[in-house]
Each structure stands twice: as structure tokens, then as C-alpha cells.
Amino acid sequence: MPARVAIDPEAAQTKVSECSSTFVARVLDQQNRPVIGANIDIHAVGPNDQLQFAAIANTTSDFQPPNSGPHSTENTRRCSDLAPAGMQGETNRVGQADEKHIESRASGTNNAGAFTFALFSDSIGGTTISAWADENDDDVQAATEASGGSRLGFGQSPPPPLRQVFLEPGNSSATVGDCQRFVLTGKRAATLSPAPMWTCMRPARAPRSVARTMPLPLVCPTRAST
């Protein structure tokens, strides 16, 4: 079972308008043994919306755009005429660089538990990278799924390590007056810092028929361990 994802290197710098050197993401279990055949997903963000995953012939792992969830797709970069054409997922983010997303094909990580990828940008700036063992293959990163980070600077030093915050569930419905549990989790690179809390849904002043279907103000009176 995946316990950790380590990306090598943890930071790198590369030239603008050239394919980066490769990153190798390894999925490891509790005993640091490789997890073979794991579904692994990679998110990369920045410097701008033109960021592409890159295919290097006989070097980068076979990948596909995520086949679940509301992703649009766009072409990836071929680093030579011999490199395969491919597609990546894209999640539009207003006012921020879009999130680019690929995942392993059905065979998953190789016999070393590894998945190799590269990136391309024609603009100067930083890219943050997050890889996770997508245990349920829903193509969404859950706080409990093992993950690791890396960072890449195009034409400049790499950006600071990625920090992530998860609020789960992302959406839910609850009976008026009942408590709904939400968990807020912070992650820095591969470190998990769970901060569970209970949050009650306020019965609200709205009529019951409306309150059942509309988002209600959240009340966070106390913080409790689970």
C-alpha cells in the first residue's frame, strides 16, 4: 500500500523553451519498498497557462490525461520527432496559472515503483509539482493519499516548496440541524499535518425547504480531535 511518494530531484532549474530534464516519482510502501502498478497522477502549475508536460522518446513514462473528473484536454510537448504525441488535462483557475494534470496508463508505476516525466515552458518562472498515488483512481488528490512534491524554475531559481490545504469533503449535503464533519488538512511537500475539526451546519433562518438545498453559513464553534 502506498505510504510515500518521492520525486527526484526535489528541485531543479532548466532553460526556457527547452524540455526539462526528467523527474522520477517513486511510490513506496511503509517499508520503503516500491509499489508496482500504482496509479499515479501528477499536477504541475506555473509559470502560466502554457505549461506542458513533455514526452522524451524512450525516457518518459507513458501517460494519459486524467480520464475522470471535469478536465479539459490539450496537447503535450514532443521533445523530438521520435517522442509520442500525447494529451494532458487542464483545470482552469481564474486569476492563477491553470493546473496541468497527467496520470499513468493502466500499467501504472514500473517494477521500480517509478513514473518518469518532464515539463516544458516557453516563459520564465516557477512550476510547482505534486505527485500522488491515486489509490481510488478518481483523478482527485485526497489528503490521505500518499504524495510528494517537487519544483522547477524555468530560467530562474525554483520556487519555494508547495504547500497544500485540503478541505474534505469538497461538497456535501446534510439534514438541517445535523452536524456535518469537515476535515482540514495541511501538507508541505510529502508531510501530512492533519488538523481535523467538526463543523455544524447552522439550521439557518431560511425556510426549511430552501435550507435543504442552498449552501448554509458554516459555524466552527470548537475544534475537536477525532
Output the CA–CA distances (angstroms, integers) from residue 108 to 42, 53, 111, 116, in the order listed.
13, 17, 10, 11
Q: How far is the CB of 176 from Ca ion (least distance, A)?
A: 30
Q: How far is the CB of 166 from Ca ion (least distance, A)?
A: 11
User: In this structure, are strands 125-133 and 40-45 parallel, antiparallel, or unpaired?
Assistant: antiparallel
Quick one: which of 14, 60, 134, 158 contacts Ca ion (CB under 5 A)?
Answer: 134
Which C-beta is closer to Ca ion: that of 140 or that of 216?
140
Map the footprint of Ca ion across residues 35-74, applying CB under 5 A: 39, 41, 67-68
Quick one: which of 71, 102, 139, 211 contacts Ca ion (CB under 5 A)?
Answer: 139
Q: Can you read off the three cell numbers belonging to residue 204? A: 439557518
Amino acid letter for position 34: P
Q: How far is the CB of 78 from Ca ion (least distance, A)?
A: 23
Query: How wide is the angle at C-alpha 25 spanned by C-alphas 148 and 189, nearest 5°?
Result: 15
Quote the CA–CA distance of 180 and 203 in Å, as a whole number: 12
Listed residue (59, 70, 123, 135) closest to 101, CA to CA: 70
Options 16-24, 53-61, 130-138, 148-156: segment touching Ca ion (CB under 5 A): 130-138
Which C-beta is closer to Ca ion: that of 10 or that of 138?
138
Binding site for Ca ion (CB under 5 A): 39, 41, 67-68, 103, 134, 136-140, 142
